[in-house]
């Protein structure tokens, strides 16, 4: 089995890299903070993205934002500096579709190929190998990456050519935050009405109102557990990408814009490292009502 590199051992990448090791792949990892890479038992730690590319036939990337991907690909010690002819680069980050196409062109010019494959499912999905993976690239490149995807995800969808995966991920993020707004408003309403929040969740989760956000984040909200599956700061990065793309396309994005501005108020309060389900705290601030906790 050929070596696979993994760049970016963060809240998502740590679980993804561990699942590759558990699936039997020979994994080489790199992270800016070396100790995080060293925590991946069974993987070899590289000194730079360049070294990862020099040692591996496939290089997976999962970092925070467009500039971060550009740095690990184009930097002096980046992937391009060590890229071998025929190497497949797979980007699991959520970044600008236009930057994706630019990087894909640079990798092709150097003799490699590119697949954009952003993921959804939070840190739980990354740890459990149940991510949803939205894939953009050629049929041959996607088929080549598929064994790696199958080690990390359960819903793997080839959605079109390079750049399409990023666009579908932006669709996903719009749905996530508008869903979270609905969950936040609904639970605040239930609290104000004096309802039993646990019973309310059980009553509505299995019906037409049910959603992943309601089922997975609703109980956390009721327990006032703001630990992140995905942080507000990272969510805001994605929403900026959505709003930029919506502007380019001339598409209204009212709900996404509202969610963005609610999260902004929480960032101003120093809460950007909390989970994106903490959106409800912005609504609580407006009303003076807090959901869950001691009654």
Catalytic residues: 169
Cα-based angle 66, 179, 231 (whole degrees, multiple of 5): 40
**Among candidate residues 144, 165, 173, the one with its CA nearest the CA of residue 242:** 173
Q: For the beta carbon of residue 44, count every other beta carbon within 10 angstroms.
A: 17
Q: How far apart are CA 46 and CA 99, in angstroms?
A: 26
Contact assessment for residue 121 and residue 130, using Cβ atoms and an 8 Å cutoff: yes
Asked if residue 114 lies in contact with residue 89, where contact means CB atoms within 8 angstroms, the answer is: yes
| CA neighbor of 103 nearest in space, from 63, 147, 132 | 63
Between CA 90 and CA 118 the distance in angstroms is 9
- For the chain, the C-alpha Rg in angstroms (whole number) is 20
């Amino acid at each position: 089995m050929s070596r696979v590199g993994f760049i970016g051992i963060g809240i998502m990448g740590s679980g993804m890299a561990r699942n590759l090791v558990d699936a039997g792949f020979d994994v080489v990892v790199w992270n800016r903070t070396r100790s995080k890479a060293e925590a991946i038992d069974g993987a070899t730690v590289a000194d730079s993205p360049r070294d990862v590319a020099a040692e591996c036939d496939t290089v997976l990337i999962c970092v925070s934002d467009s500039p971060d991907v550009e740095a690990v690909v184009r930097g002096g010690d980046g992937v391009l500096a060590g890229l071998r002819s025929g190497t497949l680069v797979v980007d699991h980050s959520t970044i600008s579709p236009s930057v994706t196409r630019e990087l894909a062109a640079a990798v092709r010019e150097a003799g490699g190929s590119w697949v954009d494959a952003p993921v959804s499912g939070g840190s739980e999905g990354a740890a459990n190998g149940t991510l949803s993976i939205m894939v953009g690239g050629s049929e041959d490149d996607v088929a080549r990456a598929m064994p790696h995807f199958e080690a990390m995800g359960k819903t793997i969808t080839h959605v079109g050519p390079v750049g399409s995966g990023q666009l579908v991920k932006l669709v996903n993020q719009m749905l996530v935050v508008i869903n979270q707004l609905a969950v936040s408003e609904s639970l605040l309403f239930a609290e104000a009405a004096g309802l039993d929040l646990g019973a309310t969740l059980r009553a509505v989760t299995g019906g037409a109102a049910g959603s992943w956000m309601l089922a997975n984040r609703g109980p956390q909200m009721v327990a006032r557990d703001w630990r992140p599956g995905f942080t507000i700061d990272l969510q805001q990065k994605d929403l900026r990408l959505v709003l930029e793309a919506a502007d380019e396309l001339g598409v209204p994005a009212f709900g996404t814009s509202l969610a963005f501005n609610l999260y902004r108020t929480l960032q101003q309060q120093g809460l950007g490292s909390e989970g994106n389900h903490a959106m409800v705290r912005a609504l609580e601030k407006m009303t003076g009502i807090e959901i869950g906790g001691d009654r």
